[in-house]
Structure 1
Amino acid sequence: MAIPDHARTNFDTLLRAASDGNLALLECLDAATREPRYVLCAVSRSEDEYVFTPFGHLADGNPYEAYLPPGSDDPTGFIASSAT
């Protein structure tokens, strides 16, 4: 499965922000659940104000349990967890 262009563009922007020292971790509230989230943001300036562009939040708990990696035998599939 190919990574879409918009995701690559956002990742490149995030890398540039980190390289330039313009990356921040903000505590925000999830818009749907109102639970705290720790959000990675690129920081820029617009006139006299800072602009924080959110890119994603850090996984709660164990991130290895939150995601399924791509399968090496099938690039369009994912490795399913053995735990059900």
Structure 2
Amino acid sequence: MPIPDHARANFDTLLRAAADANLVLMECLDAATREPRYVLCAVGRSDGEYVFTPFGHLADGNPYDAYLPPDPKDPAGFIVGPTI
């Protein structure tokens, strides 16, 4: 499955921020659960103020347990391991 244009544009922005040393890890609260999240943010300036643009948070626990990778044998599928 192709990556959507908006996701690719956000990733490119994230890479530019990292290359320019304008990337931070910020502790925030999840808006729904109020649990702490560690959020990757690009830092910019607007009208003399700092602007933090969130791009995503780091996975809690083992990130290999949080995601299913794409299946190289099926472009539209994902590798589903055994369930517990």
**Is the shorter-chain TM-score for this pair beyond 0.5, marking a shared fold?**
yes
Alignment partner of 2:75: what SS? coil
Query: How high is the TM-score relative to the length of structure 1?
Result: 0.97
Query: How high is the TM-score relative to the length of structure 2?
Result: 0.97
Q: Superposition RMSD on alpha carbons, in Å?
A: 0.7
Q: Residue 66 of structure 1 aligns with which residue?
A: 66
Q: Residue 56 of structure 1 aligns with which residue?
A: 56
Taking the aligned partners of 2:81 and 2:27, their CA distance within structure 1 comes to 30
Cα deviation for residue 2 of structure 1 reads 0.8
Answering whether residue 10 of structure 2 is matched by residue 10 of structure 1, we say yes
Q: Output the amino acid matched with 1:54.
A: P
Taking the aligned partners of 2:82 and 2:75, their CA distance within structure 1 comes to 19
Runs of 4+ in structure 1 deviating by more than 3 angstroms, as ranges, are none
- In terms of fraction of residues, the more strand-rich structure is 2
Taking the aligned partners of 1:48 and 1:17, their CA distance within structure 2 comes to 18
Taking the aligned partners of 2:29 and 2:10, their CA distance within structure 1 comes to 22
1:14-53 correspondence to structure 2 within 5 Å: 14-53=14-53
Q: Residue 79 of structure 1 aligns with which residue?
A: 79
Cα deviation for residue 83 of structure 1 reads 3.0
1:29-82 Cα offsets, whole Å, 9 max, x none, are 000000000000000011221000000000000000000000010011000012
What is the aligned length? Answer: 84
Taking the aligned partners of 1:43 and 1:17, their CA distance within structure 2 comes to 7
Alignment partner of 1:76: what SS? strand
Structure 1 residue ranges without an equivalent (≥5): none
Identity of aligned residues (%): 77
